[in-house]
Structure 1
């Protein structure tokens, strides 16, 4: 089981000082995660989503993280493959440069944006994003692996050019797709891409999706040079040895997330599209964070509580075929920084060893040393 962190980097304090504090706090958390042995950090790409997210240029932020960390993998979660928002050449180039700066620690997650308000701000057509994503995601690995590349397509064209540099990882970084809408796990499997689940849902629903993904990917035609058969999902995490304190602070985390994302729900309902179902990443996570609770007052699938409860939650996700869980640990700077850092330390000390082999533990200790 792999463990990571997923960041929106938001703040209710939208002054220059408030945004700077959110950036600095995130860097401190990621540095600690690297020292503690977390496997991934993922940064979203959002636009026009104040105060929920100021992760506008993740490639820039990753430049800082690349020099402040040693082992943790840096994941674009996700890069938006939509004309007007990003050009595939630029995605290929900046991913490759970051791969060098990090010593080969980059993963490229791909997707179609967080919703209508973002797409509309760039004048993008929401009805064609699935087709543009498909065209882009097939082109990018060719830019990395071919000496020269040319393309004549519906959403972009280019004459023959050498796209440089090629990535530091040979043949190229692992590629993923954000899975929220129904059937996207099929799109990922058919193309040999990792499934980066941006919703949790019930255990049974996720288990069915994972089984379908595993079945289809066995006979896939990968868009890249290799098949990335991995299933990761997103969760919320606050870990404290006092279960009541964990539940209280964890509830604040969920409330901060829900309030910060509330702007995205009505836009989806007003401006509908057959390629975007009502729901998606932000509204779906809001629904799950507001769902039925157990006797702790927390929805049963969330990693909020004392170590014993969280171990049980992670084991359940592991049992249905999840390879990795990426945790939201902060939302709009709702939680105190020291509470988050302490939560990460308790999680690393009490929970992570239950899901690492002895060899992995020794390797991580040696890397940290």
Structure 2
């Protein structure tokens, strides 16, 4: 089992001067500590126009800063938006290659289609074409990284033959992933031989079904790249504290706060109904929003599988994720500054000291 960290770079509203700077500085400090503690990857999303939820619109810059102040931890796009109006594929290939070079070959490239009409509409991009463009990107990116000269004639973009430079350090090229929110995307990943990067929390049952389907299908894949990346990663939340009550109170605020921000985005999908995007509650089955209580003032329990609690509790949860075939868990550490930075860092230290050793054979 590998453990990573995952950044949305959310910033509390109303936006105060220096709040974005603090969010970025805190995240970079978390990256440095994660590197020291043995976490494997630091992932950063790409979002645009999503005030409060995510101010991470230039992840390649953030990831470069993270790479420059760390030694071992990998840096990952979680993932770069594969829409021509937002990121031309040649520019994606170029930026990724440079980041792979300056990081010493520590880059993972996750791909995505963007989440809402808020983002796509801001660039006048057509939501109905994003699945087509994503498919074209994942086929052409490995070519741009490995071929001396490349030309492409496609449906959503085309370009004449050119030598795209520089080339990545990793041979043959950085691992490719696709971000997974709704069921079915894991099949797209498997069929193309790329990693399954879960970016929405899923229940044990749902993740087990997705993982089994992925494992079966990838055996017959037609790889888009020169190497198959057959890993399954899922997103989770982390707050580790020796006192379960403290962990539930502090980590629970972060968990429910992020869920609230995330739920606001769901309605943005309804503005432009399209079969290219499923209408879904982007929340795990069994989430706090679905748990009923007779007393509205009662503190709601943390759902099963969420890594918020004492080390023993978290070990049990991770053991189940491991048993259903998940290769890696990427943790959201904070949202809108709901957890003080020193408590975030202390949680990371306790997790590394008391939880990671139980899975040490799979951590590095």
TM bucket by the smaller chain? Answer: over 0.9
Give secondary structure in 2 for the equivalent of 1:347. helix
Give secondary structure in 2 for the equivalent of 1:207. helix
Deviation of the 1:51 alpha carbon: 1.1
**Residue in structure 1 matched with residue 46 of structure 2 by the alignment:** 45
Alignment of 1:255-270 (within 5 A): 255-270=256-271
**Residue in structure 2 matched with residue 314 of structure 1 by the alignment:** 318
Q: Write the distance in 2 (CA, Å) between the matches of 1:330 and 1:175.
A: 26
Q: Write the distance in 2 (CA, Å) between the matches of 1:176 and 1:33.
A: 22
Query: Which of 345, 348, 355 is the equivalent residue of 1:344?
Result: 348
The one-character-per-residue Cα deviations of 1:174-232 (angstroms, maximum 9, x if unpaired) are: 00011122211111001000000122322122111111111111111100000000000
Alignment of 1:20-169 (within 5 A): 20-169=21-170
Deviation of the 1:296 alpha carbon: 7.8
Give secondary structure in 2 for the equivalent of 1:356. helix
Q: Write the distance in 1 (CA, Å) between the matches of 2:325 and 2:214.
A: 10
**Residue in structure 2 matched with residue 220 of structure 1 by the alignment:** 221
Give secondary structure in 2 for the equivalent of 1:70. coil
Q: What TM-score, normalized by structure 1, do the two folds share?
A: 0.93
Give secondary structure in 1 for the equivalent of 2:18. helix
Shift >4 Å, 4+ stretches: 293-296
Alpha carbons of 1:151 and 1:188: their partners in 2 closer, same or farther (altered >3 Å)?
A: same
Question: How much is the aligned-residue C-alpha RMSD, in angstroms?
Answer: 1.8
Q: Write the distance in 2 (CA, Å) between the matches of 1:124 and 1:2.
A: 36
Q: Write the distance in 2 (CA, Å) between the matches of 1:153 and 1:82.
A: 13
**Residue in structure 2 matched with residue 367 of structure 1 by the alignment:** none
CA contact (8 A) 1:291 1:299 kept: no
Alpha carbons of 1:12 and 1:301: their partners in 2 closer, same or farther (altered >3 Å)?
A: same
Unaligned runs of 5+ in 1: 365-369
Matched, 1:331 2:335: yes
CA contact (8 A) 1:185 1:209 kept: yes
Matched, 1:5 2:5: yes
Alpha carbons of 1:96 and 1:6: their partners in 2 closer, same or farther (altered >3 Å)?
A: same
Give secondary structure in 2 for the equivalent of 1:263. helix
Deviation of the 1:15 alpha carbon: 2.7
Q: What TM-score, normalized by structure 2, do the two folds share?
A: 0.94
Q: Write the distance in 2 (CA, Å) between the matches of 1:147 and 1:285.
A: 44
Deviation of the 1:263 alpha carbon: 2.9
Query: Which of 336, 355, 359 is the equivalent residue of 1:355?
Result: 359
CA contact (8 A) 1:72 1:105 kept: yes
Q: Write the distance in 1 (CA, Å) between the matches of 2:287 and 2:307.
A: 12
Q: Write the distance in 2 (CA, Å) between the matches of 1:251 and 1:291.
A: 15
Deviation of the 1:331 alpha carbon: 0.6
How many residues were matched structurally?
358
**Residue in structure 1 matched with residue 296 of structure 2 by the alignment:** none
Q: Write the distance in 1 (CA, Å) between the matches of 2:64 and 2:181.
A: 28
Q: Write the distance in 2 (CA, Å) between the matches of 1:160 and 1:265.
A: 40
Deviation of the 1:279 alpha carbon: 2.3
Give secondary structure in 1 for the equivalent of 2:160. strand
Structure 1, 193-202 or 241-250: larger mean CA deviation: 193-202
CA contact (8 A) 1:237 1:250 kept: yes
Q: Write the distance in 1 (CA, Å) between the matches of 2:169 and 2:114.
A: 27
Give secondary structure in 2 for the equivalent of 1:4. strand
Deviation of the 1:329 alpha carbon: 0.8
The one-character-per-residue Cα deviations of 1:109-130 (angstroms, maximum 9, x if unpaired) are: 0010122211111111111110
Give secondary structure in 2 for the equivalent of 1:163. coil
Deviation of the 1:66 alpha carbon: 1.2
